[in-house]
Amino acid sequence: MKLKFTKMHGAGNDFVVIDAIHQKIDFTQAQWKQLANRRFGVGADQILVVEKPQSAGVDFRYRIYNADGGEVEQCGNGARAFVRFVTEKHLTDKRAIKVETMSGVIEPRLEIDGDITVDMGAPILDCARVPFDSTGLVGKNQGRDMLWPLDVNGKTIWISAISMGNPHAVQVVDDIDSAPVEMDGPVIERHTRFPKRVNAGFMQIIDRSSIRLRVFERGAGETLACGTGACAAVVAGILRGLLDSPVKVSTKGGDLRIAWQGETSSVEMTGPAVTVFEGEIDL
Ligand SMILES: N[C@H](CCC[C@H](N)C(=O)O)C(=O)O
């Protein structure tokens, strides 16, 4: 079939966005993987599929597929691209939109200055719900955070296990430029303690209101930015007593602003979303 798509990015985390309201979409995991392939397809970290809502009181549903073709629960940068897409395609005239995802309803809104803010919901810290298997591990407290030991490539690293609807393992490193993201990222992603695999975050604290962050993403590898990863890193830093909200998160692809007032309050992410080109592909 001829598939119309829009290529977009949020701080360099790039997407193929598809209107599944006006196109009939019924692809296999192999076809999603091909579409995301940077040689045999269009190329993207994730594919975002915009659908009519399934629940009342919600404006849209959006599905997220990683570059490996697997469907996942949440995508922060994708939520901003989603808002830019439905606004530019005149699929809504709202500036604050309720969107259902696999992990619940999020509320992105288009700001006057063109940036997009997303209420990403409250972080999930209960290991069983991340999910993270802490059985038999002896964690250590740092502030209000619990750090867990993981054996990775012959060394022990200490991570925060946090879900933003999708799972994250966040560690603090002295210098992200020299951090072993390529070596350790894939091992953390597939660590047996994370039954649904995990996004591996490497956070360098710059000061109490700014960090640098690299994320080796589940199902996509290292991306230029990870929105949910930025949310999880800031939550970990605030719990550890290292950061104060709001925090500037500098990634390879751009800066995000993350705010969180603690406990059960929502994490709020603000950042850019850009349309790069429109296209059509036989798939
Ligand atoms: N790789 C992630 C999904 C995309 C998240 C990221 N691109 C973001 O902006 O949050 C996962 O498997 O949970």
As for the ipTM of the complex, it is: 0.97
Lookup: tokens for 113: 């200055």
Position of tokens 């210098």?
175
* One domain, residues 155 and 244: yes
Provide the number of structural domains found in the chain.
Answer: 2
Q: Report yes or no on whether pTM surpasses 0.95.
A: yes
Whether the predicted pLDDT of 194 surpasses 90: yes
Which pLDDT does position 1 carry in this prediction? 85
Whether the predicted pLDDT of 157 surpasses 90: yes
Domain around 51: 2-117+272-282
**Is residue 122 situated within a structural domain?**
no
Tell me the CATH number at 53: 3.10.310.10
Cα of 234 to ligand 1 centre, how many Å?
A: 16
| Average pLDDT rounded to a whole number, residues 145-155 | 97
Q: What is the pLDDT of residues 216-273, one digit of tens each?
A: 999 999 999 999 999 999 999 999 999 999 999 999 999 999 999 998 899 999 999 9
Backbone angles phi, psi at 98, to 5 degrees: -95, 125
| Average pLDDT rounded to a whole number, residues 42-70 | 96
| Average pLDDT rounded to a whole number, residues 164-193 | 98
Inter-CA distances, 22 with 52, 91, 166, Å: 10, 10, 28
Atom 4 in ligand 1: which residue has the minimum CA distance? Answer: 75
Cα of 114 to ligand 1 centre, how many Å?
A: 23
Which pLDDT does position 18 carry in this prediction? 98
* One domain, residues 142 and 88: no
* One domain, residues 108 and 234: no
